[in-house]
């Protein structure tokens, strides 16, 4: 597979929209993982098992991912 030659914008800077997307992606990943950890521990402490535990953890992971991703995207947009 040949290497992709991407030409930077004048001045060698990455566009702001790419930075915001990357900020959201990083924030989503961090929020997703921490949501899985905290949601798993909380669900187990609440006595959830099987399907109920998976639904609860999945919901917490998605919510955590979108919340933290949004904040990271906003913070990145402010810095652009």
Cα–Cα distance between 69 and 64 in angstroms, integer?
8
How confident is the model at residue 13, as a pLDDT?
86
**pLDDT level of residue 7 (50, 70, 90 thresholds):** low
Mean pLDDT of the 41-55 span: 96
For the chain, domain boundaries: 16-79
Read off φ and ψ for residue 3, nearest 5 degrees. -70, 145
Between CA 74 and CA 80, with CA 76 as vertex, the angle to 5 degrees is 115
**pLDDT level of residue 17 (50, 70, 90 thresholds):** very high
Q: Which two tokens stand for residue 53?
A: 């535990």
For residue 34, pLDDT over 80 is answered with: yes
């Amino acid at each position: 597979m040949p290497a992709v030659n991407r030409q930077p914008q004048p001045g060698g800077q990455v566009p702001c929209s790419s930075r915001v997307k990357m900020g959201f992606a990083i924030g989503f990943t961090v929020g997703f993982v921490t949501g899985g950890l905290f949601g798993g521990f909380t669900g187990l402490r609440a006595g959830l098992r099987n399907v109920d535990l998976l639904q609860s953890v999945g919901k917490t992971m998605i919510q955590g991912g979108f919340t933290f991703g949004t904040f990271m995207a906003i913070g990145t947009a402010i810095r652009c």
